[in-house]
Copies of this chain bind each other. A is one copy, B any other.
Amino acid sequence: MTITEVSKKFGLSPDTLRYYERIGLIPRVNRNESGIREYTEEDCKWIEFIKCMRSAGVQVETLIEYVTLLQQGDTTIEARKQILMEQRDKLISRIEEMNRALARLNFKIEQYEARLVPVENKLKRLAHNI
């Protein structure tokens, strides 16, 4: 696959794909005779994983660390597992944080919906503070 195909497939710009490769987040992609990137199935699978983690907020640096360990072979299995577990914990707390915010938004929206409109002034405090 060419870079534009991969770009369209995953919704990452060609610039981003090149950038990811440059910083070591994606292992070096093979080039054809004239130096143009030719993405393999394997490359795509990895990119999809990266896309998934990035869009969940996992830091680029962490993912680089992970791919680096991966390339070092079986001796790094424990370290990799550690990273995954750390990221899982972080993800869980961020999800909890977001659920709290969501509950709050829902409450506020309900206030607006319960024809709060005409008595907004009176109930302003209540509506804003929970």
A28 at the interface (CB under 8 A from B): no
By a CB distance below 8 angstroms, the chain B residues around A116 are 77
Contact-size category for A: 35 or more
Q: Which of B70, B95, B106, B112 contacts A102 (CB 8 A)?
A: B95
Oligomer copy total:
2
**Cross-chain contact A56 with B98 (CB below 8 angstroms):** yes
Is the C-beta of A45 less than 8 angstroms from some C-beta in chain B? yes
Chain A interface residues (CB < 8 Å from chain B): 45-46, 49, 52-53, 55-58, 70, 74, 77, 80-81, 84-85, 87-88, 91-92, 94-95, 97-102, 104-106, 108-109, 112-113, 116-117, 120-121, 128-129
